[in-house]
Structure 1
Amino acid sequence: MKNKYIDLIEQTFEFPQDEFTVEDNELYFHEVPLMDIIKQYGTPLKISYLPKISQQINRAKRMFNVAMAKVDYKGSYNYCYCTKSSHFSFVLEEALKNEINLETSSAYDIHIINALYESGLINKDIYIVCNGFKRPQYVENIANLINSGFTNTIPVIDNKQELDLLDIIEKPCQIGIRIAAEEEPKFDFYTSRLGIRYNDIIPYYKERIKNNKKVKLKMLHFFINTGIKDTAYYWNELHKCIQVYCELKKLAPELDSLNIGGGFPIKNSLAFDYDYEYMTEEIVAQIKNVCNANGVEEPNIFTEFGSFTVGESGAALFSIINQKQQNDRESWYMIDSSFMTTLPDIWGINQRYPLLAINNWDKEYQRVFLGGLSCDSEDYYSGEAHSNAVFLPKLTPGETQYIGFFHTGAYQESLGGFGGIQHCLIPAPKHIIIDRDKGDNEYYTRLFAKEQSYRSMMRILGY
């Protein structure tokens, strides 16, 4: 009878997978033995596997370049990393090894750009796409960038009044316009609060930009909140965007770039199925076809990939510290941290991640609920993306069960308030970085952050 945890995984999914293998009933992540990591650092533990970041960037570049070659696309492809997905220095340092550009969303992002330049990690030719609602400090910081020689900094106009704020920029400036896309039907509203309405873009260009000697329209920016998906909704919005680009291009010959923000999804389950190559080829072909039909030269394509860049590099490892049988059907495994503080997307937007046992793959499995340490009733995890249930090995007295949530590298630290005050004063866990030597390709680890101390919390609270 096949009732072991490894049997369940192998019967349910195509397994092993690229990043997950099992040896001696223990899980390996990108060929890194996670039990060795746990023995060295303990749990709870956040890990960042840096090589995955470069792999994702080069994967996207390869897919777009192949898609462009297939249809003889004339424009260029430009990869941008969205800093808001993870602002950590080790993420930016790894991403910038791959000749990418950057996207910012707030005033303090610009200080990161300056720090990267001072460290020699970027030069002033890099594209800096500045999105977000522009407050005066954000515009001042953008102006300082442009005035200091970052000539490819592109403030993207989010509302009609922002152009007036750009008067403090001394040099001629390239700008973009963001389209206010229509949202999916499930939203409470029809049109995004971000950007300028489709029907207002052409009149706005004629009235405010066409004869403005201080600015030159470089980019039309299109963003879908739910990301790039093979749905009628996405293709319809993309088609409308390309049509606006063509109309605008006929009036603004200086316009040469289309930014299709809203990135590729990442694997949220071992059952995840997404045809990246097909989607890339279809996007490129549609842009070319609509432009050709309108007699317009194809634009340079910019993408803004945040979660796709960094998400699959991250993981969170926990110990099961107790089992509670609350009724006949509900068995709870209590973890040594809190979902609300460590993986806030779980309770905030019901996000699901690949969840796997780290050890004991040869043990029988059972259905469980996972509970966090906080006193909040929302601090739990009860189902995976492919199933409204969680199955893990049965506990063995005297032997600790370890589990891992994977592909957690985007947004969780910033949303969880890294280094700040956590719900119920539960400390932020240790965070380690895993990288590989260029010579022998052996992995090595280094501690990025210790577990948060009570003293740091007390200082923040004023004690």
Structure 2
Amino acid sequence: MKNKYIDLIEQTFEFPQDEFSVQDNELNFHDIPLMDIIKQYGTPLKVTYLPKITSQIQRAKRLFNVAMAKVDYQGSYNYCYCTKSSHFSFVLEEALKNDIHLETSSAYDIHIINALYDGGIIDKNIYIVCNGFKRPQYVENIASLVNNGFENTIPILDNKRELNLLDDAINKPCQIGIRIASEEEPKFDFYTSRLGIRYNDIIEFYQTRIKTNKKFKLKMLHFFINTGIKDTAYYWNELNKCLGIYYELKKICPELDSLNIGGGFPIKNSLAFDYDYEYMAEEIVSQIKHFCEQSGIPEPNIFTEFGSFTVGESGATLFSIINQKQQNDRERWYMIDSSFMTTLPDIWGIKQRYILLAINHWDLEYQRVFLGGLTCDSEDFYNGESHSNAIFLPKLVDETQYIGFFHTGAYQESLGGYGGIQHCLIPAPKHIIIDRDKDDNEYYTRLFAKEQSYRSMMRVLGY
């Protein structure tokens, strides 16, 4: 009878997979024995595997460049990393090894740009795409980049008023973009995004406000799909609407040469994940190429803004099971040594599902369980995965059971209030970085941050 945990995984999924394998009944992540990491650092533990960031960027570049070559696309492809997905220095430094560009969303982002420049990591030729609603400090910081020679800084107008604010602060020629207020998917509570300028206003706004201003040149049209790049009628319809506006603008604005197809590729959130990245890249490129040929205009340079795709799959979060509670006839709880609400807030906030796997005891029988966090909030739990409304983990024995949530590298630290005060004063876990030696490809680890101390919390609270 096949009732072991490893039997469950192998019967349910194609396993092993690229980043996951099992040796001696213990899980490896990118060929790294996670039990060795736990023995060295303990749990709870955040892990960032840096080589995955580079491989994701190179994968997307390859996909788009091959797609462009197949149809003889004349524009260029430009990969931008959205800093909001993870602002950590080690993420930016790894990503920038791959000749990419950056997208910002708030005033303090610009200080990161300056720090990267001061450290010799970027030069002033990099594209800085400045998205988001621009309050005075953000405008001032953007202007400082432009005025100091970052000539490829592109503020994206989120509303009409921002043009005047930028005009007052910038004293050099500046490239700008316009963000389209795209329609949202039917499941949303509203029809049109609160971000951007509505379709019907863009042409008139350009003619009356931008065309007559000698300081600004409209370089980029930007549209963003909140749910990401998916093979749906909704996505292709929004892309075609955007191309229609691009065509109308291009007729009266010859310097317009770039299309930003904001909204990212999805990341793997289940061992059953299936997404045809190659098809999507080829279809996007071919649709833009076909539209431009039909309309008699040059193909635009394509910009993408990939945040979660860049950094999400580099992350893992490891926990210990510290207790088992049988609360009624059917509900058995495994209690973890941290909190979902504070450590992986997307689980609580948007019901996000991640890849969840046991790290040890793959040779034991499995059972259905619920996972509970340490806070006193009833919402601090995890009870299903993206492919199933249930969780199965090995039965507990005398030795500690460890589990891992994988591909957790995007957004969780910033949403969880990294370094600040979190629900029930649950401390932020240790965070380690794993990299590989360029010469022998052996992995090595370093501690980025210790577990948050009570002293740091007391200082924040004023004690």
Do both share a fold (TM > 0.5)?
Answer: yes
In structure 2, what is the equivalent of residue 175 of structure 1? 176
In structure 2, what is the equivalent of residue 330 of structure 1? 331
In structure 1, what is the equivalent of residue 148 of structure 2? 148
Number of residue pairs aligned between Structure 1 and Structure 2: 462
Shift of 1:188: 0.7
In structure 2, what is the equivalent of residue 265 of structure 1? 266
- State the secondary structure of the residue aligned to 2:444: strand
Q: Give the distance between the partners of 1:201 and 1:290, measured in 2 at CA.
A: 20
Partner amino acid, structure 1, of 2:462: G
Q: Give the distance between the partners of 1:4 and 1:251, measured in 2 at CA.
A: 67
Shift of 1:303: 0.2
TM-score of the superposed pair, with normalisation by structure 2: 1.00
Q: Give the distance between the partners of 1:223 and 1:268, measured in 2 at CA.
A: 22
In structure 2, what is the equivalent of residue 231 of structure 1? 232
Shift of 1:79: 0.2
- State the secondary structure of the residue aligned to 1:53: helix
Shift of 1:211: 1.6
1:186 aligns to 2:187 (yes or no): yes
In structure 2, what is the equivalent of residue 423 of structure 1? 423
Q: Give the distance between the partners of 2:166 and 2:342, measured in 1 at CA.
A: 39
1:72 aligns to 2:72 (yes or no): yes
Matches within 5 A, 1:120-135: 120-135=120-135
Shift of 1:70: 0.5
In structure 2, what is the equivalent of residue 386 of structure 1? 387
Q: Give the distance between the partners of 1:137 and 1:9, measured in 2 at CA.
A: 51
Partner amino acid, structure 2, of 1:234: Y
Shift of 1:19: 0.3
Partner amino acid, structure 2, of 1:63: L
Partner amino acid, structure 2, of 1:79: Y
Q: Give the distance between the partners of 1:55 and 1:200, measured in 2 at CA.
A: 40
1:104 aligns to 2:104 (yes or no): yes
1:294 aligns to 2:295 (yes or no): yes
Partner amino acid, structure 1, of 2:144: N
Q: Give the distance between the partners of 1:287 and 1:102, measured in 2 at CA.
A: 23
1:212-253, CA deviations, whole angstroms, 9 ceiling, x for partnerless residues? 101000000010000000111001001110111111111100
1:383-403, CA deviations, whole angstroms, 9 ceiling, x for partnerless residues? 00000000000001x200000
Partner amino acid, structure 1, of 2:450: K
- State the secondary structure of the residue aligned to 2:265: coil
Partner amino acid, structure 2, of 1:206: Q
Question: Where does structure 1 differ by over 3 angstroms across 4 or more consecutive aligned residues?
Answer: none
Partner amino acid, structure 1, of 2:210: I
Matches within 5 A, 1:353-392: 353-392=354-393
Partner amino acid, structure 2, of 1:106: S
1:20-66, CA deviations, whole angstroms, 9 ceiling, x for partnerless residues? 00000000000000000000000000000000000000000000000
Partner amino acid, structure 2, of 1:170: N
Q: Which runs of 5+ in 2 are unaligned?
A: none
- State the secondary structure of the residue aligned to 2:108: helix
Shift of 1:353: 0.2
Q: Give the distance between the partners of 2:117 and 2:372, measured in 1 at CA.
A: 44
Partner amino acid, structure 2, of 1:149: G
Partner amino acid, structure 2, of 1:41: Y
In structure 1, what is the equivalent of residue 402 of structure 2? 402
Q: Give the distance between the partners of 2:12 and 2:281, measured in 1 at CA.
A: 29
Shift of 1:329: 0.5
1:280-322, CA deviations, whole angstroms, 9 ceiling, x for partnerless residues? 0000000111111111100000000000000000000000000
Partner amino acid, structure 2, of 1:360: H
- State the secondary structure of the residue aligned to 2:247: helix
Partner amino acid, structure 2, of 1:10: E
1:307 aligns to 2:302 (yes or no): no
Partner amino acid, structure 2, of 1:3: N
Q: Give the distance between the partners of 2:223 and 2:285, measured in 1 at CA.
A: 14
1:9 aligns to 2:9 (yes or no): yes
- State the secondary structure of the residue aligned to 2:329: coil
- State the secondary structure of the residue aligned to 2:175: strand
- State the secondary structure of the residue aligned to 1:69: helix
Q: Give the distance between the partners of 2:269 and 2:249, measured in 1 at CA.
A: 38
Partner amino acid, structure 2, of 1:132: G
Partner amino acid, structure 2, of 1:383: G
Q: Give the distance between the partners of 1:208 and 1:151, measured in 2 at CA.
A: 22
Matches within 5 A, 1:183-222: 183-222=184-223
Q: Give the distance between the partners of 2:257 and 2:294, measured in 1 at CA.
A: 17
Q: Give the distance between the partners of 1:385 and 1:39, measured in 2 at CA.
A: 30
Matches within 5 A, 1:449-460: 449-460=449-460
Q: Give the distance between the partners of 1:136 and 1:455, measured in 2 at CA.
A: 35
- State the secondary structure of the residue aligned to 1:220: strand
- State the secondary structure of the residue aligned to 1:107: coil
In structure 2, what is the equivalent of residue 95 of structure 1? 95
Matches within 5 A, 1:33-72: 33-72=33-72
Shift of 1:274: 0.3
Q: Give the distance between the partners of 1:80 and 1:116, measured in 2 at CA.
A: 15
Q: Give the distance between the partners of 1:248 and 1:72, measured in 2 at CA.
A: 24
Q: Give the distance between the partners of 1:23 and 1:246, measured in 2 at CA.
A: 56
TM-score of the superposed pair, with normalisation by structure 1: 1.00
Instruction: Give the aligned CA root-mean-square deviation in angstroms.
Output: 0.4
Q: Give the distance between the partners of 1:180 and 1:258, measured in 2 at CA.
A: 15
1:98-122, CA deviations, whole angstroms, 9 ceiling, x for partnerless residues? 0000000000000000000000000
1:413 aligns to 2:413 (yes or no): yes
1:394-418, CA deviations, whole angstroms, 9 ceiling, x for partnerless residues? 001x200000000000000000000
